Amino acid sequence: MSTRSRIARLLDDGSYRSIYCHFDGDRVGQILRQYFSSENDARAIINLGE
């Protein structure tokens, strides 16, 4: 079974931009904090799309 999640970042206008993550959603936050912790990293990941 998959643990689904969304990867999101807060925009300046108070809205969110996000992408869907189908697998391993329970570990995504830990991995992102460890390897993709900057604002530029977050922007690049979100811009890749789903």
Q: How far is the C-alpha of 48 from the C-alpha of 11, rounded, in Å?
A: 16
Which pLDDT band holds residue 40 (cuts at 50, 70, 90)? very high
- The C-alpha torsion from 30 through 32 and 37 to 38, rounded to 10°, is -160
pLDDT in tens, 8-38: 999 999 999 999 998 888 898 899 999 999 9
The pTM score is 0.75
CB atoms within 10 A of CB 30: 9
Q: Give the C-alpha separation, 12 to 15, whole Å.
A: 7
